[in-house]
Amino acid sequence: QVQLVESGGGLVQPGGSLRLSCAASGRGFTIYSMGWYRQAPGKTRELVATIVTGGTTNYADSAKGRFTISRDNAKNTVYLQMSSLNPEDTAIYFCNANARLGYLRNDYWGQGTQVTVSS
């Protein structure tokens, strides 16, 4: 199995910045991509950003220009640097990894970390 643990969430004022981290652990797996998704109260889960091993990134329109995703392949860790935060960014942020374990390639999820943007 693949375990993902997020960290770095918390309370930040509008216009502030926050960096989320997610580390993958386990044995015998190969990660192809990692990413961040979020779910606000009363809303469905939505993609924020993804990054593949080669470095190609994909951002939601709401994240472009404000958020930066990066990855340390050697440590199987993904980061999300968030700037110019606004209350609409308030959500639980979930880490995702698309990984192969044995012959099966699946999506794995972390437990989520709360980000609250409020004055």
Report which of 70, 23, 30, 77 is spatially closest to residue 49, judged by C-alpha positions: 70
Task: Give the pLDDT of residue 41.
Answer: 92
Is pLDDT of 72 > 90?
yes
Which band of pLDDT confidence, cut at 50, 70 and 90, is reported for residue 73?
A: confident
Which band of pLDDT confidence, cut at 50, 70 and 90, is reported for residue 1?
A: confident
| β-pair type (113-117, 10-12) | parallel
Which band of pLDDT confidence, cut at 50, 70 and 90, is reported for residue 5?
A: very high
Angstrom distance (rounded) from CA 54 to CA 46: 23
Provide CB contacts within 8 A for 65, sequence distance 6+: none
Which DSSP string corresponds to 65-97? Answer: TTEEEEEEGGGTEEEEEE-S--GGG-EEEEEEE
Average pLDDT over residues 1-26: 96
pLDDT tens digits along 74-103:
899 999 999 999 999 999 999 999 999 999
Average pLDDT over residues 56-62: 97
Which band of pLDDT confidence, cut at 50, 70 and 90, is reported for residue 56?
A: very high
pLDDT tens digits along 14-55:
999 999 999 999 999 999 999 999 999 999 999 999 999 889
